[in-house]
Structure 1
Amino acid sequence: MTQKLIALDLDGTTLNNEAQLSKKTVATIKAAIKAGHVVSIVTGRPNRLSQNFYDQLGLSSPMINFNGSLGHMPHQHWQYEYQYTFDRGIVLDLLQHQQEFNIQMIAAEGKHLFLAHQTESTQVGFFPAVLTHEQQLSPATLTQNPTSMTIAVDRPLQKRLQSYIEERFGSSVDVAPWGGPNSVLEIGAKGVQKAVGVERLAHYYHIDRQNVIAFGDEHNDKEMIEFAGRGVAMNNATDQLKALADDVTEHNNDQDGMAEYLSKALKLA
């Protein structure tokens, strides 16, 4: 048996529509690990919102968060841990332009960083409805460079804000709108995306690129799907991702599509 590296996106892929792991998914991943394969979470989510799934799946591999910008091993020291950051001044500049672009919320995050400033409560599930005093983002509290910045903005102004950031800071950051119903822009270090993390994992485990299987559903999975020897788009993935992928799962994320595909691909009992 050739050892495979399995890279798993979370939302819309490994998680069902309730953002939970099904029994079948947990059992399949544990069987894959038992069979000698490496399974790693590669997600846009911050580590604070992924570690519970990491633990439920019984993983001991490194986890990739913030779309490739953070690679670390939960609960232990990993000598190859890395984190890409960008200048905190970019966050402070956008704080000053909050009214102009009708920004509802700005969050700056990193492995041990979560600060946010909101002008109104947002419906973006990733963020606390109420911020504690310690979580308030300001020039005084943001003392380190962030790994990721997330901005909830009025949809009519989203494109304009994106252009503003790209024109002023485009040489050091990338800006990507979220898929789905929320009008959110995500900002990360220039040129860093999920394939950066997957490539590091493959190198660490001495697994050839052709033995990487990656699963995803959205535009932020594009580079990872292209990098993998077998890039698999979910049945519920965007049409663009399906067009790039080597394969598409028969069922969607709410029907254990990833687990079912993996079971067959790895011939798990």
Structure 2
Amino acid sequence: MQRKLISLDLDGTTLTSTKKISPKTKQILQKATDMGHVVTIVTGRSDQMAIDYYDELNLDTPMINFNGALGHMPHRHWKDAYEITFEKKIVLEILAAKSTLGIQTIAAHGQGLTLTDSTDSSISPFFPAASRSQEILNQINLTKDPSAITMLVDPYKKETITHQLQQTYDSDVTVSVWGGPAPVLELSPKNINKKVGLKSLSKYYGIPREDIIAFGDEQNDVEMLSYAGTGVAMQNAAPWIRDIADNITPVDNDHDGIAQYLEQNLAL
């Protein structure tokens, strides 16, 4: 069988709703690797929030984080590693206008970087509280340009805030809304998405587009699923994600959707 590049989104896809990787999914992904296929993670999560899953799957492939803005080989050097950023002054300007805009908390992210302006761990599971002064988002601690900004916003002002940020920073960043119930906005470098990371992996491994199988469930997976030769939406994906996909997993992320799909389609 032709070698495949298997691209995995994490939340809502590889992970169950309790943020675990099931034994069955682990087993099938290991089997795919043993058969010579390339298994990779392409996620919106930071490198710090994805590394444990990478290690749990025993991967030795590059990982793509921040929806395509960071490509790296965890634990070792990779000659094709990259990090795409935008100016840190954007973070500081938004931080200064936080209360006026209606932003509850804000975090800046980059490779090995997570700074947040909150020390309250009860605000949101998506925003780890700063426990040390060096982790607080401010002009002193933000010494490098970030790859992403995430913001927990007033749910009633979400559309207004999105519009304001788009108007102000449209030439530098893309403003997107996280899927799910949490009112979270994300800023990423302009024109960067998971497709960018997937193309870099395709080139590195010499695996053509038609031999890429990509799994996803949310808005930030659209470009990746559309680019892959086979874009697979999870059974639990948003309806319009399922509409643009080539295939849909037979079951959802809580019932080994990826594993069942790969078993059926890669003769595992």
Category of TM-score, reference length = shorter chain: over 0.9
Residues 1-269 of structure 1: pairs in structure 2 closer than 5 A: 1-118=1-118, 123-268=123-268
Aligned AA (1:90)? I
Aligned length: 268
Deviation at 1:165, TM superposition (A): 1.1
Tell me the distance in 1 between the aligned counterparts of 2:53 and 2:6.
15
Tell me the distance in 1 between the aligned counterparts of 2:146 and 2:238.
29
For residue 192 of structure 2, give the secondary structure of its aligned residue in structure 1. Answer: coil
For residue 188 of structure 1, give the secondary structure of its aligned residue in structure 2. Answer: strand
Tell me the distance in 2 between the aligned counterparts of 1:124 and 1:233.
27
Q: Check 1:251–1:123 CA distance in 2 against 1; reply closer, same or farther (3 A cut).
A: farther
Aligned AA (1:59)? L
Tell me the distance in 2 between the aligned counterparts of 1:231 and 1:86.
29
Deviation at 1:127, TM superposition (A): 2.4
For residue 164 of structure 1, give the secondary structure of its aligned residue in structure 2. Answer: helix
1:172-208 deviation per Cα after TM superposition (whole angstroms, max 9, x unaligned): 1000011111100000000000010001100100001
For residue 188 of structure 2, give the secondary structure of its aligned residue in structure 1. Answer: strand
1:116-139 deviation per Cα after TM superposition (whole angstroms, max 9, x unaligned): 103865543232245321100111
1:127-164 deviation per Cα after TM superposition (whole angstroms, max 9, x unaligned): 22453211001112111100010011101111111111
8 A contact 1:104–1:121 mirrored in 2: no
Q: Which runs of 5+ in 1 are unaligned?
A: none
Tell me the distance in 1 between the aligned counterparts of 2:252 and 2:84.
32
- Normalising by structure 1, we get a TM-score of 0.97
Q: CA RMSD in A?
A: 1.1
For residue 74 of structure 2, give the secondary structure of its aligned residue in structure 1. Answer: coil
8 A contact 2:175–2:185 mirrored in 1: yes
8 A contact 1:105–1:120 mirrored in 2: no
Tell me the distance in 1 between the aligned counterparts of 2:111 and 2:181.
26
Q: Check 1:256–1:29 CA distance in 2 against 1; reply closer, same or farther (3 A cut).
A: same
Deviation at 1:99, TM superposition (A): 1.0
Q: Which runs of 5+ in 2 are unaligned?
A: none
